[in-house]
Structure 1
Amino acid sequence: MAERPTGGPGLRTALGTLSIPLRFLLLSSFLIPLGSFMVLPFMSVFLHERLGMGLGTVGVVLAAASLVQFSGGIAGGALAERIGLRRTMLWALVVRTAGFVGLLLALRWPPLAVGALILTCCGAALYLPANKAYLVHGVDEERRPAFLSAGNAALNAGMAVGPLVAGPFVLSSPGWLFVAVTALFVLVTAGHARLPAPSGEALAIADEGRQGLLSGVALLPFVANGLAFYLYFHFQHYLAVYAVERASSEFYSLVLLLCFALVIVVQPLASGAIRRMPYGLALAVGFLGLAAGLAVLAVGNRPALLAGGALITLGDIVLFLKNDLEALRRSPRSDAVVFGQQRLAAGIGACASGVLGGQLYGAAEHAGDAGWFWLWAAAQCLLLPPLLVLLRRPAADLPRPHGDTEGALTRP
């Protein structure tokens, strides 16, 4: 049978088969980051200006929260393997809702703010692997990229809209904002309570046994994902200070909106082509896109900021989706555990970027030209990925057997 063309009718046909529970899950994939990003992007301002924390303390708190939110995904995947996808998502949303209640209470008792923030990040860590696994449960390999990219598009749309909605109210009316976000999460949690458990899930859970968190990890996609996030987070962490100095905070927001829009529009349309692309070629295309974008940022003017952001986003569209697809193909573990392992790699990469990138940016700024930071980051995109060749096809990193349907939670 001939493959469907990328995007266009093929994409619409794939998404047109979504059941009502999956449509609700995609809606939730928009509403959850919408609510979260009405609050979380402004936490540094809230903690510092509203609650009076020093900037050094704020930095430590946010670093710890980011590490929990990313790397804690491996615990979320393991929990889903033990108790099921629906129950894991439900408990994760209960935890996250409690975190937003804690932020509301922190307006009266500020010490609660740190614990509440960490609680919301724990909920995010538990939720995302189960969400992705539920979305692709029982879906054949050809349609998985379309489903995953649709979820990513919904996620990015929520992340883009949230700050725009909440910006005027974060400092002026944070209480009402936290109440609104908490109410949104209560409604989403109630909806998840009505989701059906995936067919065959109980049998699959029983068959999994108790394996280690990193057992069966697909090593090459794991390391490639960590490296991709390490390089991408040079852009994520440090573009704000670089762009605001050379343009304005409003123009920085415009760059971010462009990046979100590209993910929302391009990734679903390109998902079929990314699936068919050989893994080595996808890595080359993705890392070259990151390298080109980071190098362009060194120019430092407004067109360069837009062009650099666009190139970096196109690179990560290929890398992030292909790494997840390849990890699913190679690992014998359940989908939720695979997504959790990939989140762990992302957390390690993002954390390393925060620590090492901060030193590099400070050194470049001290030398009088922060543009050198972007050139050094671009050079890493060219120098580090070839080392991945050393990890290609180890004996324990074998593809899943096609057509094996034992345990519906484990593989389609």
Structure 2
Amino acid sequence: MRATLFPLDGPLRFLLLSSFLIPLGSFMVLPFMSVFLHERLGMGLGAVGVVLAVASLVQFSGGIVGGALADRIGLRRTMLWALIIRTAGFVGLLFGLRWPPLAVGALVLTCCGAALYLPANKAYLVHGVDDERRPAFLAAGNAALNAGMAVGPLVAGPFVLSSPGWLFVSVTALFVLVAAGHARLPAARAGESGGQSAGQGLLAGVAALPFAANALAFYLYFHFQHFLAVYAVERATSTFYSLVLLLCFTLVIVVQPLASGLIRRMPYATALAAGFAGLAAGLAVLAIGTRPALLAGGALITLGDIVLFLKNDLEALHRSPRSDAVVFGQQRLAAGLGACASGVLGGQVYGLTEQAGDTGWFWLLAAAQCVLLPLLLLALRERPARHPTPLMTTTKEH
């Protein structure tokens, strides 16, 4: 890992630090939104599912707009505007404590900022990096992101329901500082990394199989992301739920950088099979409902996602002629479609299993989908990659 990633210059060190601080602040709030909306604001679980679905759709699918914007105005300016928008969203959450409908709008606004930020962030991180080193840089960014996601819930867990006002003020201040740092980054236009795409449609050059696989992976994963909080808090505590998240994020931090080279060399079909098998096993284990089962299920789901999410991004970069920012934006669109479907359908199914008195069936139904739905991807496997060279030696310039 060190031989392929280091040394890092100042801007990249700051970007990796920001990749920790931004999810740190976000995950002091976002993992608890289902509980916050349901218990503090009194929304029904069906309505909560719809709100989370819309928020997820905006946060992920809006990435395709973020990628196109980065192509037009540059990576640094896109990241800066994204952070300003997201900061405004957290201010809105603070005022939403007095007027609950504003909380929903503010949540969506924070997701708009996230949608614009991540494609530009990833493209800036791998700007000018050769194909062999790209998995290491992406894995380092993912590790920093997951470290922030791990620490955020631990910090905020005791306060999210008892003192949300101070929590929202703290997160807002953090985002103001991070935005100020981004204003000092050197400019790097997305177009400079190759794959000029001005005037092309947002979906032009999309890699069909990685796009579909990403949508499906996020659809299945967000059963866990959206509804584990409600399920785990009922059976344990919010603190234990934070520990489950800590385990999951720690696995990403440790395992994905170490396995990035192996994942890069792994045949795509093998990666898909291993990833979806991990999701299926983890979701099934969650149905047991005990504390050890929550930990084991979360770990298995995370190991599956470590393979799926990184491999899908690498394969999309390999197959598409578009710029890095646009490719990452297209993959975020796929993620948003999957996460939105998970919120809408999952919220209804979770509500039904709750009414039936056994929410364990929710996880078993999700696990069954992990086995059956990937078979639909076989219809896309026969389409050849646009670039026939092996992924580890692709000649595409970025």
Fold match by TM threshold 0.5: yes
Equivalenced residues, count: 393
Which of 59, 65, 78 is equivalent to 1:69? 59
C-alpha displacement at 1:354, in angstroms?
Answer: 2.1
What does residue 320 of structure 2 align with?
331
What does residue 228 of structure 1 align with?
217
Structure 2 vs 1, CA of residues 174 and 386 (structure 1 numbering), >3 Å: closer, same or farther?
closer
C-alpha displacement at 1:161, in angstroms?
Answer: 1.2
C-alpha displacement at 1:302, in angstroms?
Answer: 2.7
2: CA distance between counterparts of 1:373 and 1:44?
Answer: 16
What does residue 105 of structure 2 align with?
115
1: CA distance between counterparts of 2:292 and 2:174?
Answer: 38
What does residue 239 of structure 1 align with?
228
C-alpha displacement at 1:49, in angstroms?
Answer: 6.2
Decide whether the 8 Å contact of 1:329 with 1:400 is kept in 2. no
Structure 2 vs 1, CA of residues 205 and 317 (structure 1 numbering), >3 Å: closer, same or farther?
closer
Structure 2 vs 1, CA of residues 249 and 187 (structure 1 numbering), >3 Å: closer, same or farther?
closer
C-alpha displacement at 1:261, in angstroms?
Answer: 1.1
What does residue 378 of structure 1 align with?
367
1: CA distance between counterparts of 2:36 and 2:375?
Answer: 42
- TM-score between both structures, scaled by the size of structure 1: 0.87
C-alpha displacement at 1:119, in angstroms?
Answer: 1.7
Range that drifts further, 228-237 or 36-45: 36-45
| Residue 204 (structure 2) pairs with residue 215 (structure 1) | yes
C-alpha displacement at 1:111, in angstroms?
Answer: 5.0
| Residue 387 (structure 2) pairs with residue 399 (structure 1) | yes
Look up the equivalent residue of 1:271 and give its one-letter code: S
- TM-score between both structures, scaled by the size of structure 2: 0.90
C-alpha displacement at 1:77, in angstroms?
Answer: 0.8
SS in 2 for 1:168: coil
Decide whether the 8 Å contact of 1:32 with 1:185 is kept in 2. yes
Q: Which ranges in structure 1 are unaligned for 5 or more consecutive residues?
A: 1-10, 406-410
Structure 2 vs 1, CA of residues 47 and 248 (structure 1 numbering), >3 Å: closer, same or farther?
closer
Structure 2 vs 1, CA of residues 357 and 63 (structure 1 numbering), >3 Å: closer, same or farther?
closer
2: CA distance between counterparts of 1:283 and 1:250?
Answer: 33
Which of 308, 323, 339 is equivalent to 1:319? 308
What does residue 128 of structure 2 align with?
138
Decide whether the 8 Å contact of 2:157 with 2:238 is kept in 1. no
Which of 170, 189, 195 is equivalent to 2:185? 195
The share of aligned pairs that are identical, in percent, is 81
Structure 2 vs 1, CA of residues 177 and 371 (structure 1 numbering), >3 Å: closer, same or farther?
closer
C-alpha displacement at 1:269, in angstroms?
Answer: 0.9
SS in 2 for 1:384: helix
What does residue 94 of structure 1 align with?
84
Range that drifts further, 239-248 or 76-85: 239-248
Structure 2 vs 1, CA of residues 280 and 44 (structure 1 numbering), >3 Å: closer, same or farther?
closer
1: CA distance between counterparts of 2:2 and 2:250?
Answer: 19
What does residue 17 of structure 2 align with?
27
Structure 2 vs 1, CA of residues 35 and 244 (structure 1 numbering), >3 Å: closer, same or farther?
closer
Render the CA deviation track for 1:373-395: whole Å, top value 9, x for unaligned. Answer: 33332222222212212102526
Render the CA deviation track for 1:166-199: whole Å, top value 9, x for unaligned. Answer: 233434444433332222112111111111123x
Which of 321, 335, 342 is equivalent to 2:331? 342
What does residue 165 of structure 1 align with?
155
1: CA distance between counterparts of 2:232 and 2:38?
Answer: 22
What does residue 256 of structure 2 align with?
267
C-alpha displacement at 1:58, in angstroms?
Answer: 4.9
1: CA distance between counterparts of 2:160 and 2:103?
Answer: 14
Structure 2 vs 1, CA of residues 404 and 31 (structure 1 numbering), >3 Å: closer, same or farther?
same
2: CA distance between counterparts of 1:240 and 1:46?
Answer: 10
Range that drifts further, 273-282 or 225-234: 225-234
Look up the equivalent residue of 1:274 and give its one-letter code: I
2: CA distance between counterparts of 1:376 and 1:206?
Answer: 42
Range that drifts further, 342-351 or 115-124: 115-124
2: CA distance between counterparts of 1:165 and 1:124?
Answer: 21
2: CA distance between counterparts of 1:295 and 1:171?
Answer: 30
Look up the equivalent residue of 1:345 and give its one-letter code: A
Matches within 5 A, 1:24-63: 24-44=14-34, 46=36, 52=41, 54-55=43-44, 58-63=48-53
SS in 2 for 1:268: helix
Structure with larger Rg: 1
Q: Which ranges in structure 2 are unaligned for 5 or more consecutive residues?
A: none
